[in-house]
Amino acid sequence: MTPRLEPVDVAAFAQTQLALLAAELEAEIAETSTLIGSHSPAGLQRAGVAVTNLVVNAQRTGFGGKTVLELGPDAATSTSTSASASGSADLPEHGIRTGDIVLVAEQPAGSAKKREVRELEKKGARGVVTRVTMAYIGVALDEEREDVAALTGRVWIVKLADDVTYRRMNITMEKLQKMTEAQQSVFIRVLFGQSTPSPIPQDLSQDPELAQIEWVDPTLNDSQKDAIRFALASKEIALIHGPPGTGKTHTLIELILQMLKRGLRILVCGPSNISVDNIVERLAPHKVPILRLGHPARLLPSVLSHSLDVLTQTSEAGAIVKDVRAEMDAKQASIRKARNGRERRVIYGDLKELRKEYRERERRCVRNLVAQSKVVLATLHGAGGFQLRNEEFDVVIIDEASQALEAQCWVPLLAAKKAVCAGDHLQLPPTIKSLNSKSSKPKPPPREGGEEEGGGKKAATSSATLETTLFDRLLALHGPSIKRMLTTQYRMHEKIMRFPSDELYESKLVAAEAVKARLLKDLPNYEVEANDDTTEPLVFIDTQGGDFPEKSEEEDTTAAASSNKKPKRGLHGESKSNEMEAALVRQHVRKLVQSGVRPEDIAVVTPYNAQVAILAPLKETFPGIELGSVDGFQGREKEAVIVSLVRSNAEGEVGFLGEKRRLNVAMTRPKRSLTVIGDSETVKRGSNFLTRWMEFLEDNADLRYPDVSSLTQDTA
Ligand SMILES: Nc1ncnc2c1ncn2[C@@H]1O[C@H](COP(=O)(O)OP(=O)(O)OP(=O)(O)O)[C@@H](O)[C@H]1O
Candidates 590, 596, 603; CA nearest to 530 is: 596
Average pLDDT, integer, range 77-92: 57
pLDDT for 37 equals 79
3-state secondary structure of 176: helix
pLDDT for 145 equals 60
pLDDT for 323 equals 79
248 CA distance to ligand 1 middle (Å): 6
Residues 6 or more apart whose CB falls under 8 angstroms from that of 336 comprise none
Candidates 56, 6, 2; CA nearest to 463 is: 6
Indicate the range of 393-397, 424-428, 442-446, 705-709 predicted with least confidence: 442-446
pLDDT for 553 equals 67
Pocket residue to mutate for ligand 1, from 276, 490, 638, 669, most atoms within 8 A of Cβ: 490
Dihedral of CA atoms 667, 672, 678, 683 in degrees, nearest 10, equals 30
pLDDT for 64 equals 67
pLDDT for 91 equals 84
Judging by DSSP bridges, how do beta strands 155-159 and 101-106 pair with one another?
A: antiparallel
Number of neighbouring beta carbons within 10 Å of residue 514: 8
Nearest-atom number in ligand 1 for the CA of 244 is 25
CB-CB contact of 711 with 580 (8 Å): yes
Pocket residue to mutate for ligand 1, from 215, 250, 400, 428, most atoms within 8 A of Cβ: 250
Dist CA 188 CA 166 (whole Å): 22
Under the banding of pLDDT at 50, 70 and 90, the label for residue 554 is low
Convert the pLDDT of each residue in 243-254 to its tens digit: 999 999 999 999
* CA separation, residue 370 to residues 94, 325, 581 (Å): 37, 21, 54
Dist CA 24 CA 18 (whole Å): 10
CB-CB contact of 552 with 575 (8 Å): yes
For the chain, the 3-state helix, strand and coil shares in percent, each to the nearest 5, are 45, 15, 35
Number of neighbouring beta carbons within 10 Å of residue 195: 15
pLDDT for 469 equals 93
Residues 6 or more apart whose CB falls under 8 angstroms from that of 208 comprise none
Residue 471 has pLDDT above 90, yes or no: yes
Dist CA 609 CA 40 (whole Å): 22
Average pLDDT, integer, range 672-694: 96
Q: Which residue has the higher pLDDT, 144 or 321?
A: 321
Indicate the range of 76-80, 165-169, 638-642 predicted with least confidence: 76-80
pLDDT for 366 equals 79
Convert the pLDDT of each residue in 398-453 to its tens digit: 999 999 999 999 999 998 999 999 999 999 988 887 764 443 333 333 333 333 33
Classify burial at 277, counting beta carbons within 10 Å of its beta carbon; exposed 0-12, middle 13-18, buried 19 or more.
buried
pLDDT for 54 equals 92
CB-CB contact of 537 with 519 (8 Å): yes
Under the banding of pLDDT at 50, 70 and 90, the label for residue 514 is very high
Dist CA 247 CA 422 (whole Å): 11
Task: Name the residue with the closest Cα to ligand 1, atom 14.
Answer: 247
Under the banding of pLDDT at 50, 70 and 90, the label for residue 563 is very low
Nearest-atom number in ligand 1 for the CA of 246 is 21
Under the banding of pLDDT at 50, 70 and 90, the label for residue 369 is confident
Nearest-atom number in ligand 1 for the CA of 635 is 26
Residue 265 has pLDDT above 80, yes or no: yes
CB-CB contact of 255 with 246 (8 Å): no
Indicate the range of 49-58, 65-74, 84-93 predicted with least confidence: 84-93
Residue 557 has pLDDT above 50, yes or no: no
493 CA distance to ligand 1 middle (Å): 15
Q: Which residue has the higher pLDDT, 468 or 535?
A: 535
CB-CB contact of 142 with 189 (8 Å): no
Convert the pLDDT of each residue in 307-355 to its tens digit: 777 776 666 656 777 778 888 888 888 887 888 888 888 888 888 888 8
Candidates 471, 475, 466; CA nearest to 16 is: 466
* CA separation, residue 547 to residues 642, 650, 702 (Å): 20, 11, 21
Under the banding of pLDDT at 50, 70 and 90, the label for residue 568 is very low
Average pLDDT, integer, range 595-606: 96
Phi and psi angles of residue 293, each rounded to the nearest 5 degrees, phi first: -85, 150
CB-CB contact of 120 with 104 (8 Å): no
Task: Name the residue with the closest Cα to ligand 1, atom 8.
Answer: 247
Dist CA 103 CA 158 (whole Å): 5
pLDDT for 317 equals 59
Q: Which residue has the higher pLDDT, 645 or 316?
A: 645
Q: Which residue has the higher pLDDT, 114 or 614?
A: 614
Number of neighbouring beta carbons within 10 Å of residue 211: 11
Dist CA 7 CA 16 (whole Å): 15
Quote ipTM for the complex: 0.96
Average pLDDT, integer, range 132-139: 90
Within 13 A of 90's CA, how many CA atoms are on the CB side? 11
Share of the chain above pLDDT 90, in %: 49
pLDDT for 560 equals 38
Dist CA 35 CA 47 (whole Å): 9
Average pLDDT, integer, range 106-113: 66
Classify burial at 257, counting beta carbons within 10 Å of its beta carbon; exposed 0-12, middle 13-18, buried 19 or more.
middle
pLDDT for 533 equals 97
Dist CA 617 CA 627 (whole Å): 10
CB-CB contact of 27 with 498 (8 Å): no
Dist CA 125 CA 106 (whole Å): 10
Average pLDDT, integer, range 634-657: 93
Nearest-atom number in ligand 1 for the CA of 636 is 26
Residue 628 has pLDDT above 80, yes or no: yes
668 CA distance to ligand 1 middle (Å): 14
Nearest-atom number in ligand 1 for the CA of 242 is 21
Beta strands in 257-413 (DSSP E): 266-270, 290-292, 375-379, 395-398
3-state secondary structure 584-653: HHHHHHHHHHHCCCCHHHEEEEECCHHHHHHHCCHHHHCCCCEEEEHHHHCCCCEEEEEEECCCCCCCCC
688 CA distance to ligand 1 middle (Å): 31
Task: Kindly report the average pLDDT of the chain as a whole number.
Answer: 84
3-state secondary structure of 159: strand
Nearest-atom number in ligand 1 for the CA of 400 is 27
Dist CA 681 CA 476 (whole Å): 35
pLDDT for 243 equals 98
Under the banding of pLDDT at 50, 70 and 90, the label for residue 455 is very low
Indicate the range of 159-173, 563-577, 638-652 predicted with least confidence: 563-577
Q: Which residue has the higher pLDDT, 609 or 536?
A: 536
Under the banding of pLDDT at 50, 70 and 90, the label for residue 8 is confident
| CA dihedral over 33, 38, 42, 44, signed as positive or negative | negative
Conformational region of residue 115, where left means phi above 0, alpha means psi within -120 to 50, and beta covers everything else? beta
pLDDT for 447 equals 37
Task: Name the residue with the closest Cα to ligand 1, atom 15.
Answer: 247
Work out the end-to-end distance of the chain between its first and last CA atoms, rounded to an integer number of angstroms: 56
Q: Which residue has the higher pLDDT, 44 or 264?
A: 264
Classify burial at 382, counting beta carbons within 10 Å of its beta carbon; exposed 0-12, middle 13-18, buried 19 or more.
buried
Dist CA 487 CA 77 (whole Å): 57
424 CA distance to ligand 1 middle (Å): 14
Phi and psi angles of residue 563, each rounded to the nearest 5 degrees, phi first: -95, 20
- What are the residues facing 239 on neighbouring strands? 421, 483
pLDDT for 449 equals 32
3-state secondary structure of 73: strand
* CA separation, residue 625 to residues 245, 536, 619 (Å): 21, 20, 6
Under the banding of pLDDT at 50, 70 and 90, the label for residue 686 is very high
- What single DSSP character describes residue 206? G
277 CA distance to ligand 1 middle (Å): 16
Dist CA 684 CA 608 (whole Å): 18
pTM of the complete model beyond 0.90: no
pLDDT for 713 equals 54
- What single DSSP character describes residue 425? T
Residues with CB under 6 A from ligand 1: 219-221, 224, 242, 244-250, 490, 635
Average pLDDT, integer, range 214-242: 96
